[in-house]
Chains A and B, each alone.
Chain A
């Protein structure tokens, strides 16, 4: 955390980017004094503006003053109702307050209106829906993410896990397809995919052990992979 606090507000805009990044990191670590110092500096340099308000609002949230944060974000949203920074902060605020349904609804509106290419927002939406146990909606979010990055094994795994949790023969078959895709992508090295494929085969066969057809081959691989040495 090397910040040069002695550097006077100079012409370089990069210094303020660094202020912002370090302030956010300090808040994540709970370093309240450092965060306050940085947020004050930013506010002095940029008294108006959404980016500055975002940092100040985040500091209010850290200090457990959600109402101050909310009114700050709302003030900015009154000026520009489509400001993505403020909309996302509102989602974060609602999530921090435990209003997951409200956060998910707000995020859904943002994604429908302007955020369809905002992949971080889709990931956040998927996370919120999973916490709300709205697995169908979470699966939809993962589908969008897969369209964007079809070679991302992690997204395939999350999508397959969501379908498996949702349950039903159709979902287990689709999940098995995605687990198989990850096994192929990783040349059989991904244990989660191997376990997932075994679990789908077992569910489809209706028993805890044994599969049928292609499921048997996958189970054998899963067994072999699962026989890795355990520490004593």
Chain B
């Protein structure tokens, strides 16, 4: 993989999913497009679809979500050409945990079925630092946010192993940073995270739209 660009909307959905279930790990699937072939693939992540919020190391719910998403992507070819599954995301139970853990197995299976897929992990300490910085900046009237770190880590498959891809500068991971944490804090304050529904909730109440198409629409 040459580079991966993550959209702000996809990142915010990951953050909101994690915020809705703060005491458990959550996972989901990334949608987007891939251009270029082996070695020069450019992945663009445009959407994140939340899947599980309890017992994320169990396969059936994620597998059902993947097959539904495959069908959804096919249906969208008219409006979003080239849309496909491009990765897996996870936010761990403990903020300090920076490992994929059980998610590695799912990321492997997704990458095998959809080549050049990536794995995204929420960076707990970076998010904590970003929120603390925001609170401090708000305390000083007119203060700026200071330097903003990416709040997610990207892993790409490199010869059978998942290796971290550096963000920014010469790194291959383009992660939105400017204003992301403040937008997230605003959405959180509005309670927008409660309006997000994942596939597991959809299985309990089929009327809930787990694709969350209008979640980020409107003022924030």
Contact across chains for A130 and B61 when beta carbons are under 8 A apart: no
Contact across chains for A231 and B59 when beta carbons are under 8 A apart: no
Contact across chains for A231 and B207 when beta carbons are under 8 A apart: yes
Within 8 A of A (CB), among B62-118: 63-64, 67-68, 93-94, 96-97, 101-102, 105
Residues from chain A with Cβ under 8 Å of B213 in the complex = 232
Question: How many Å from the CB of B159 to the closest CB on chain A?
Answer: 23
A interface residues, how many (CB within 8 angstroms): 23
Residues from chain B with Cβ under 8 Å of A60 in the complex = none
Contact across chains for B102 and A133 when beta carbons are under 8 A apart: yes
Question: How many Å from the CB of B188 to the closest CB on chain A?
Answer: 14
A127 part of interface (Cβ distance < 8 Å):
yes
Question: How many Å from the CB of A223 to the closest CB on chain B?
Answer: 12
Inter-chain CA distance A228–B63, complex, in Å, is 18
Interface string of B181-220 (1 = CB under 8 A from A): 0000000000000000000000110110101010000000
Within 8 A of A (CB), among B48-64: 55, 57-61, 63-64
Inter-chain CA distance A160–B55, complex, in Å, is 13
Contact across chains for A165 and B207 when beta carbons are under 8 A apart: no
Question: How many Å from the CB of B21 to the closest CB on chain A?
Answer: 14
Residues from chain B with Cβ under 8 Å of A232 in the complex = 213
B interface residues, how many (CB within 8 angstroms): 25
Question: How many Å from the CB of A38 to the closest CB on chain B?
Answer: 21
Contact across chains for B55 and A127 when beta carbons are under 8 A apart: yes
Partner of B94, one of A96, A165, A195, A230: A96
Contact across chains for A161 and B101 when beta carbons are under 8 A apart: no
Contact across chains for A196 and B55 when beta carbons are under 8 A apart: no
Contact across chains for A191 and B206 when beta carbons are under 8 A apart: yes
Contact across chains for B55 and A192 when beta carbons are under 8 A apart: no
Contact across chains for B209 and A98 when beta carbons are under 8 A apart: no
Contact across chains for B60 and A131 when beta carbons are under 8 A apart: no
Contact across chains for B60 and A130 when beta carbons are under 8 A apart: no
Partner of A199, one of B25, B63, B206, B211: B63
Interface string of A127-145 (1 = CB under 8 A from B): 1001101000000000000
Q: Which of A96, A127, A130, A165 has the most CB of B within 10 A?
A: A165
- The A contact surface, by secondary structure, is helix
Inter-chain CA distance A162–B60, complex, in Å, is 9
Contact across chains for A130 and B55 when beta carbons are under 8 A apart: yes
A121 part of interface (Cβ distance < 8 Å):
no
Partner of A131, one of B57, B67, B203: B57
Contact across chains for B102 and A131 when beta carbons are under 8 A apart: yes
Partner of A161, one of B59, B93, B94: B59
Residues from chain B with Cβ under 8 Å of A133 in the complex = 57, 101-102, 105
Residues from chain A with Cβ under 8 Å of B67 in the complex = 208
Interface string of A151-168 (1 = CB under 8 A from B): 000000010111011000
Partner of A231, one of B64, B94, B209: B209
Contact across chains for B61 and A162 when beta carbons are under 8 A apart: no
Residues from chain B with Cβ under 8 Å of A164 in the complex = 58-60
Contact across chains for A192 and B96 when beta carbons are under 8 A apart: no
Within 8 A of B (CB), among A174-231: 191-192, 195-196, 199, 208, 226, 228, 230-231
Residues from chain B with Cβ under 8 Å of A127 in the complex = 55
Inter-chain CA distance A61–B61, complex, in Å, is 33
Known contacts A133-B102, A191-B204, A231-B209, then 12 further A-B pairs from the complex at CB < 8 Å, ordered by chain A residue: A96-B94, A130-B57, A130-B102, A131-B101, A133-B101, A161-B59, A165-B59, A196-B60, A199-B63, A199-B64, A208-B67, A232-B213
A/B interface sample: 6 pairs, CB < 8 A: A130-B58, A131-B101, A131-B102, A191-B206, A192-B203, A208-B67
Q: Sorted from nearest, which 4 A-B pairs have the closest CB atoms?
A: A231-B209, A161-B58, A165-B59, A228-B206
